[in-house]
Amino acid sequence: MSISSRTPRRVCPKPVHMGTAGTRISPELLPESESVCTFSCDLVGSGRRCLALIYPRPPSRRKILDNIGIQTVTPAKALRASPNILDVSSVMGVFEELGYLWQVVAQLFPGKPHFKTEDIPDLTGKVVIVTGGNVGIGRETIKALLQHNAKVYMASRNKDKATAAIQALKEETGKEAIFLELDLSVLASVRKAAAEFLSKEPELHILFNNAGVMWCPIEWVTADGFDMQFGTNVIGHFLFTELLMPALFAGTSSSPDHHARVVTTASSGAYLNTLDWDTFKDTSQRKKTSPVVLYNQSKLANAIVARQVAKQYADKGIISISLNPGGIDTELQRHAPKQRAIMRATILQPVAMGALTQLWAGVMPEALNHNGEFLIPWARLGKCRKEAYDDEVGQRLWAWLLEQTKEI
Ligand SMILES: NC(=O)c1ccc[n+]([C@@H]2O[C@H](COP(=O)([O-])OP(=O)(O)OC[C@H]3O[C@@H](n4cnc5c(N)ncnc54)[C@H](OP(=O)(O)O)[C@@H]3O)[C@@H](O)[C@H]2O)c1
C-alpha cells in the first residue's frame, strides 16, 4: 500500500514523451542516475520506482500518509514540477491515477459499518474453506462462520499454528474447524489439498481465498519458480479454485439460494499498479521491481481473476466477488516492521473489522447481486482499477494461469 523506500525525490530533467497510462518507461530514456521522473512513473503504472500523488483533505491526513512513506503532492505542484513530460494523454492519466489514489486514502477511513456479524444467517449445512485462516482476517472470518454453525476447513500451511488456532477458536465459539494442509506457494501442495478436500466432501458452498503474503524479500520465489507474492496470492489460489470447482458446482444444488461463492481477498493495493507480465516469474525485471509494486500487482490480479471466475461460471451458479478488507492490524506487514509500527499507531483498524466485507460477500443474500464486483470496506460496492474490468486483460491472464499450472 505504501510506496517503495527507494523512491527517488528528484525531478527528471529530460523531456520524455510518456504516452498513455500503462506505457513502460524505456530504461535508456531514464538512466539510473536520473532513475525516475518524480511523479510520472506512477502515472504510467510502469511497475518501477514511483512517487504517489495524493491530494487528500483534510491536510492532517496528508501528514499521516507522509509518515508511512506515501509521499504527497498536490496535482498543481506535480504539473509545475514536470511540465516538459506532459502530453494530453498523460494529463488524463494523472487524473485517473489521482482518482485511484484517492480511493486508497478514502478506503482507509470508511466510517461506520452497516453490517455486523450478528446479521449473518444460520449457516447449518454450509461447507466452507478459508485459506490462511489461522491468523488475522482469515481467523476472524472462521470465528464468525463457526458461531453461525458452518462446517469450516482452515486451509493453512503450518500444522502447529493451525492446530493452536483451531483449539483457541474452539474455546471461543464451542465449535471446531477442520485443518486442511495447504501451501499456496507449492503447486503440488495445492493439488494435494484440493484432492484431500474432495475425498472428504462432495460439496463446497463458500471458498474464501483469503491467504496472502505482502512485501516479502525480493529473493523469495515459490517452489515452482514464480514471484512469491504472485505465486502465493494469485497462482496458488487460481489453481485451488479451479480444482475445487466440481465441489462448488455440487454445492449450488444443495444451497437454498442455488449458488456457491468464491470470495477473494484483494486489497486497496490493487489500485496502485498495473500488471507487469515480465515479473510473474523469477526474471531480472522482477528482481529490479519493488516488493511493494509486486504486492500491488498481485492484488490487482486477484480482482482480475475473481471477475473472470464470475464470467466463466455464472451460468453454473457460481458467484465470485473480490474485495478490499480495509487497513487492518494483522501480521501481514511482518516484513516491514517500521512501517507496521507507524501504521498501527495511525490508520490500522481492529482485526474483527477486516472480516466484515468478506463475510458479507460470502454469506449475505444481497451479495448475490454483485457477481464479478469489487467490494470496499465495510461491505460496500466499490470500483476497482480499470484493468479489473478489461476482458482482454482478464482472458490473457486466465490463459496464462491455465498454461502455467497445467503441468505442475
Ligand atoms: N491487513 C490488511 O491491512 C490487509 C489489507 C488489504 C488486504 N489484505 C489481505 O487480507 C488477506 C489476509 O491477510 P491478513 O491481514 O489477515 O494477514 P496475516 O495475518 O498475515 O494472514 C495471512 C494468512 O495467509 C497465510 N499464508 C501466507 N502464505 C501462505 C501460503 N504460502 N500458503 C498458505 N497460507 C499462507 C498465513 O499463514 P502463516 O500464519 O503460516 O504465515 C496467514 O494465515 C491477505 O490476502 C491480504 O493481502 C490485508
Q: What is the pLDDT of residue 344?
A: 85
| C-alpha grid cell, residue 301 | 490480479
The atom number, within ligand 1, closest to the CA of 138 reads 16
Angle at 172 between CA 168 and CA 176, to 5 degrees: 65
The stretches in the chain having pLDDT less than 70 are: 1-92, 408
Domain 117-405 CATH class label:
alpha beta
Mark 136-175 as b/e (b = at least 16 C-beta within 10 Å). bbbbbbbbbbbbbbbbbbbbbbeeeebeebbeebeeebeb
CA-214 nearest atom, ligand 1: 47
Q: Residues 278-303: pLDDT tens digits?
A: 999 999 999 999 999 999 999 999 99
- Nearest alpha carbon to residue 270 among 110, 186, 385: 385
- C-alpha 211 to ligand 1 mean position (Å): 4
Q: pLDDT tens digit string along 38-71?
A: 333 333 333 333 333 333 333 444 454 444 443 4
Q: Is the CB of 135 under 6 A from ligand 1?
A: yes
pTM: 0.82
- pLDDT of 336 reads 81
DSSP readout, 191-221?
A: HHHHHHHHHH-S---EEEE-----S--TT-B
pLDDT at 92 (0 to 100): 64
Ligand 1 lined by 137 (C-beta under 6 Å): yes
Indicate whether residue 69 lines ligand 1 (CB < 6 A). Answer: no
Distance CA 363, CA 127 (A): 12
Please state the domain extents for the chain: 32-108, 117-405
Sign of CA dihedral 103, 101, 283, 16: positive
In this structure, the residue with its CA closest to atom 20 of ligand 1 is 332
For ligand 1, say whether the CB of 350 is within 6 Å of any of its atoms.
no
Q: What is the distance in A from the centroid of ligand 1 to the CA of 286?
A: 22
- Residue 10, pLDDT score: 32
CB distance 56 to ligand 1 below 6 Å: no
Whose alpha carbon is nearest atom 47 of ligand 1?
A: 212
**Nearest C-alpha to atom 44 of ligand 1 is from which residue?**
212
Q: Kindly list the catalytic residues.
A: 295, 299
Q: Ligand 1 test: best mutation among 130, 152, 157, most atoms within 8 Å of CB?
A: 157
Does the CB atom of residue 331 touch ligand 1 within 6 A?
Answer: yes
Q: Is 127 helix (H, G, I), strand (E, B) or coil?
A: strand
Per-residue model confidence (pLDDT) at position 140: 98
Is ligand 1 within 6 A of the CB of residue 377? no
Q: Give the closest residue (by CA) to ligand 1 atom 2.
A: 328
